[in-house]
Amino acid sequence: MSSPKNPVILLFDNEMASGKGKPLRGFLNYAKADIGNEKEKVFLKKHMINIIDNLYLLTVPLIGEKTECDIEDLFDGSTLSHEIDGRKFTRDNNNKSPKHYGKEIFSRYILNNYSDINFDGFRSILDNIDNIMNNYLEEQTYTGSNLEIKKIDEDSADKVFLRV
């Protein structure tokens, strides 16, 4: 069986600290992924991990002293404070205030003005994507471009194993 040519990368906001109710924790729970003490330390430090074969998990890096970060945290202050029709950006999608606009309008603003926006804060994510690509290509070279078929016992057949 030949392996996929490219990795699949799942990008999540970095919300490990708050746990329940957040997409990252939900994904890990759904995948029955137990990243354990050592693997979790590496994951929290590097913000990426190979789940299995060509599937990788990547999170937004922590900025400053924050314990959690959304992808919006990677934009500079002038982008985040940009007003549209006198309204300010809010991350709260439930905020229906006429003084604010949400993530959908913010994303359209980014799309329409990308040439004027500073994306330097995204460098670490792009570096990690590059690291994942290089890691995957090296692994493909090492394994002869074939996925290894792993013997899985019945107790662990429904679990996704995370490896660093």
Number of domains in the chain: 2
Residue-wise pLDDT tens digits, 56-102: 999 999 998 998 999 999 999 999 999 999 999 999 878 888 999 99
112 and 35 assigned to the same domain: no
- pLDDT(156) > 50: no
Question: Do 5 and 42 have their domain in common?
Answer: yes
- DSSP per position, the chain: -BPPSS-EEEEE-B-TTT-TTSHHHHHHHHTT---THHHHHHHHHHSEEEEETTEEEEEPPP-TT-S-B-GGGGS-HHHHT--BTTBEE-S-TT---TTEE-HHHHHHHHHHHGGGS--GGGHHHHHHHHHHHHHHHHHHHHTTTBPPPPP--GGGTT-PPPB-
Above 50 in pLDDT, residue 32?
A: yes
Query: Could you tell me if 137 and 69 lie in one domain?
Result: yes
**Residue 47 domain boundaries:** 1-74+122-164
